[in-house]
């Protein structure tokens, strides 16, 4: 009868020095799959060609401080966001102070998968009814694409009323409200608001609602259609996949043209026609 190989057995032919790699693989499988128990991991290892006793897998997990599957914590919030990015849209308010010390509120949405930002509206007097109307406008703007989304994330601002949530639940989305004092639960939206401030709003003076809406719309044309994003391999949100452009001959800098956008605060660079 063939001898069963265990984790501590180093004499199996063709498997020299496998102790630490197999241990690392077992703990990795457990952390990446919170619902897997030691026998499920044993089975996955068998498919990879590693015959190891279930009791040995259990001992390795126990030594690593990993609880059995029924008591193990589920996926982290970061893991959830990463796995479901294509199906998540998030929203938040951006507050802008004008030259006349008037406070304006900007409602923005961002699609996690593409990083595309939507300007829902600008107002000095936000209400629950106004917020609900912006939700309806966004649903109409997304059209059939809203069917691809599954989750909406927002904080506990009272302006996000039940009627606001109902607009999205009617489209089949599940509304997730962040925990109190936990801004990292809506970190993607917070980050784009920070980008709006650093790249645009901190560099211009705003007089009123209409100028703010116009400059934000112009900036978002740049943001969604041109600005490179690290999470998208330096592609803008509106370009899903495209081959990398041919390299420009930098010996002739006249072939590159600068285009100021967003009231001249940002430059874009294009090839000359």
| CATH number of domain containing 96 | 3.30.420.10
Mean pLDDT of the chain: 85
Domain-embedded: residue 255: no
Statement to judge: residues 122 and 102 lie in one domain = yes
Statement to judge: residues 119 and 207 lie in one domain = yes
Statement to judge: residues 56 and 139 lie in one domain = no
Domain-embedded: residue 187: yes
pLDDT category at 1 given cuts 50, 70, 90 is very low
Domain-embedded: residue 155: yes
Please tell me the total count of domains within the chain: 2
CA 83, 166, 192: angle at the middle one, nearest 5? 45
pLDDT at 228: 85
Statement to judge: residues 48 and 105 lie in one domain = no
Domain-embedded: residue 32: yes
Statement to judge: residues 60 and 129 lie in one domain = no
Statement to judge: residues 109 and 170 lie in one domain = yes
Is pLDDT at 230 greater than 60 in this prediction?
yes
pLDDT at 210: 95
59-72 mean pLDDT: 76
Verdict on whether the full-model pTM lies above 0.75: no
Statement to judge: residues 66 and 84 lie in one domain = no
pLDDT at 3: 45
Q: Which domain covers residue 114, as residue numbers?
A: 80-232
Domain-embedded: residue 269: no
Statement to judge: residues 157 and 50 lie in one domain = no
pLDDT category at 14 given cuts 50, 70, 90 is very low
Domain-embedded: residue 254: no
Beta bridge partners of 15: none
pLDDT category at 247 given cuts 50, 70, 90 is low
């Amino acid at each position: 009868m063939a001898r069963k190989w265990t984790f501590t057995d180093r004499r199996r032919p063709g498997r020299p020095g496998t102790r630490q790699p197999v241990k690392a693989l077992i703990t990795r499988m457990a952390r990446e799959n919170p619902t897997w128990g030691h026998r499920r991991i044993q089975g996955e290892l068998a498919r990879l060609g590693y015959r190891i006793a279930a009791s040995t897998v259990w001992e390795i997990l126990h030594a690593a401080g990993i609880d059995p599957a029924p008591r193990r914590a589920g996926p982290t919030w970061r893991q959830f966001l990463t796995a479901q990015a294509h199906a998540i849209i998030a929203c938040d308010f951006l507050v802008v102070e004008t030259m006349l010390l008037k406070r304006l509120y900007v409602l923005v949405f961002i699609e996690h998968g593409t990083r595309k930002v939507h300007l829902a509206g600008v107002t000095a007097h936000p209400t629950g009814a106004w917020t609900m109307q912006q939700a309806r406008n966004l649903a109409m703007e997304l059209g059939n694409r809203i069917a691809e989304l599954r989750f909406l994330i927002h904080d506990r601002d009272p302006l996000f009323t039940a009627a606001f949530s109902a607009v999205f639940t009617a489209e089949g989305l599940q509304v997730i409200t962040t925990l109190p004092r936990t801004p990292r639960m809506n970190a993607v939206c917070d980050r784009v608001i920070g980008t709006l401030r650093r790249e645009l709003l901190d560099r211009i003076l705003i007089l009123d609602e209409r100028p703010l809406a116009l400059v934000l719309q112009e900036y978002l044309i740049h943001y969604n259609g041109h600005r490179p994003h690290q999470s998208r391999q330096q592609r803008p949100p509106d370009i899903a996949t495209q081959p990398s452009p041919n390299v420009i001959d930098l010996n002739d800098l006249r072939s590159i043209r600068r285009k100021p956008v967003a009231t001249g605060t940002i430059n874009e660079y294009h090839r000359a026609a």
